[in-house]
Amino acid sequence: MNQLTTDNEKTRHVTASSATFADFEKLADQYGLTNKGLLAAMVQYFKATKADPRDPKADNPTDAIKALDRRLISFIKQQEKEQLRPIKDELILISRKLYELGCNYQSGPDFK
């Protein structure tokens, strides 16, 4: 049963300090939810993510993505340095030699 859509259930009360309740109401307004809707969404969120609400230092997904992005870019640059540039240099040498052979071939005897 979805906790966000049921209104016919028996009402229960939660006790909070004035400061906590004020923050809670600000969050509800910020997300465009009623207090009841925000509480239901919070419970659903913590159940789904298994995040610990007592740990505000929990990994921020944005920071995790940025770190992964930096690692990926670093890996690509390393591969470029170790693999792609040597291959490119070899191809340049081969193409120069082929060009020289082609020029020497064309300036050689006339095979018409």
* The pair of three-digit structure tokens given for residue 101, joined into one six-digit string: 């052979």
pLDDT in tens, 56-70: 666 677 888 888 999
pLDDT above 70 for 9:
yes
Please name which of 42, 15, 17, 14 lies closest in space to residue 28, comparing C-alpha atoms: 42
Computed over every residue of the chain, the mean pLDDT equals 84
Give this prediction's pTM: 0.46
Lowest mean pLDDT, pick from 29-33, 89-93, 99-103:
99-103
- DSSP 8-state class, residue 56: T
